[in-house]
Amino acid sequence: MKNILVTGGCGFIGVNFIRYLLADPDFKGRIINADNLTYAGNPESLENIAERYPQRYYFEKADICDQKQIGAIFEKYHIDAIAHFAAESHVDRSIVGPDAFIRTNINGTFNLLEQTRRYQEQIVLFHHVSTDEVYGSLGDDGFFTETTPYDPSSPYSASKAASDHLVNAYHRTYGIPITISNCSNNYGPFQFPEKLIPLMILNALEGKPLPVYGDGKNVRDWLYVTDHCRALWTIMQKGQRGETYNVGGRCEMRNIDLVEMICDLLDRMAPDSLHKPHRNLITFVKDRPGHDQRYAIDFSKLEHDLGWSPEESYETGIEKTIHWYLENTKWVNRIKSGAYLSWIETHYADNAS
Spatial separation of the C-alpha atoms in residues 206 and 201, rounded to whole Å: 9
| Cα 349 to Cα 326: distance, rounded to the nearest angstrom | 32
Query: How many beta carbons lie within 10 A of that of residue 191, not counting itself?
Result: 26
Is the sign of the CA dihedral 295, 232, 161, 244 positive or negative?
A: negative
Residues near 23 by Cβ (< 8 Å), separated by ≥ 6? none
Q: Closest Cα partner for 167 from 118, 127, 132, 135?
A: 127
Do 222 and 187 meet the contact criterion of CB atoms below 8 Å apart? Answer: yes
Q: Is 73 helix (H, G, I), strand (E, B) or coil?
A: helix
Strands 185-187 and 219-224: parallel
Catalytic (active-site) positions: 132-133, 156
Whether a cis peptide bond, with omega within 30° of 0, leads into 43 is no
